[in-house]
Amino acid sequence: MTVGVDGYPESRAAADWAAKEALLREAPLRVVHADEWPRVPAVPPVDREEHQRWADTVLDEASGELRRRYPELAVTARRLTGRAAAVLAVEAADSQMLVLGSRGRGAVEGFLVGSVGMATVGLTDTPVVLVRPAATFPSGAPESRPSGNVAVGRDVVVGVDIHETTDAVLAFAFDEAARRGCGVRAVHGWSLPFAFSYAPGLDPGVRQEVADGIAGAVAERLRPWRGLYPSVKAEERVLVGAPAEQVLHDAADAELVVVGRRIRRAPVGGHLGHVAHAVLHHATAPVAVIAHD
């Protein structure tokens, strides 16, 4: 497990969330800080040594706080040098998960993931989780967590595209739900083609027929994972409407939201679809982005 910190509230929330996740996975936690020397001289000028001391302080405070709060957790710390997104992606290569903080701007404006977070998501095949400052923590985590952060009755919400959602996305969602002792809500939004609005003679049964077919396809996607995780209650949520809106609606009370990102083996980098993009910017719950072919 790896978590990136930068001294801001969102990274402190990410570090705490990552610590609890590491305990759930019985894995050590690596706390890293990307020490990126500004390309444009700061005003007023900042001495390089002073900048490095500040970076070390950020790292020491974050890792020290985690060691105090979770003495049973193996915590290491490392300062990285270079462009933040690039070095974080390299550091995440041998990790089960990379956790980063994500800034909030309020319910009306939505959220700002930040250039580092968005860039890192596109550079690594490792699952990346972005955490808000007010995010709840894994509900299966040890009792050392503050009681006010217990996520009672929350599910893992996963966006399902019957044409593209891969096994990697569903495997992650079911595995996380099993670790937390919660359920999975598989959400799929759909609508009839716009042309059907101008077909007054359309058989009213067509809509239901299409809905039944889509529901069956979603259920078939979940079938093998229900078999592998019999203790995880899985619910299909096949809803009429834009996929991003439907996932965000269910994400409002989610323990964790899981979305996919297509890998592109080309210089243009990874592809982030409109659903994943919307969820990253507007969901208040932690969001896991899973890369898939």
* Domain regions of the chain by residue span: 1-39+46-145, 153-293
Cα torsion for 259, 129, 181, 9, to the nearest 10°?
-130
Q: Can you say how many angstroms the Cα of residue 150 is from the centroid of all Cα atoms in its chain?
A: 19
Average pLDDT over the chain reads 84
Q: Which two tokens stand for residue 246?
A: 């439907």
1-39+46-145 and 153-293: identical CATH topology:
yes
- Least confident range of 35-44, 162-171, 248-257: 35-44
Residue 118 has pLDDT above 90, yes or no: no
* Residue-wise pLDDT tens digits, 48-94: 788 788 889 999 999 999 999 999 999 999 999 888 999 999 999 99
- As a whole number of angstroms, the longest Cα–Cα distance in the chain is 75
pLDDT for the residue numbered 204: 65
pLDDT for the residue numbered 62: 96
The CATH architecture annotation of domain 1-39+46-145 reads: 3-Layer(aba) Sandwich (3.40)
pLDDT band at 181 (very low <50, low <70, confident <90, very high): very high
pLDDT band at 152 (very low <50, low <70, confident <90, very high): very low
* Residue-wise pLDDT tens digits, 197-224: 555 555 667 778 888 999 999 999 999 9
pLDDT for the residue numbered 106: 39
Q: Which two tokens stand for residue 235?
A: 């619910």
Identify the residue with better confidence: 205 or 268.
205
pLDDT for the residue numbered 137: 53
Residue with tokens 């996963």: 158
Alpha helices in the chain (DSSP H): 9-25, 48-69, 84-92, 115-123, 167-180, 205-228, 243-251, 274-282
Phi, psi (5° rounding) for residue 96? -70, -30
Residue 100 has pLDDT above 60, yes or no: yes
What fold, for 153-293? Rossmann fold (3.40.50)
pLDDT for the residue numbered 271: 64
Residue 44 has pLDDT above 70, yes or no: no
The percent of residues in the chain predicted with pLDDT above 90, rounded, is 58
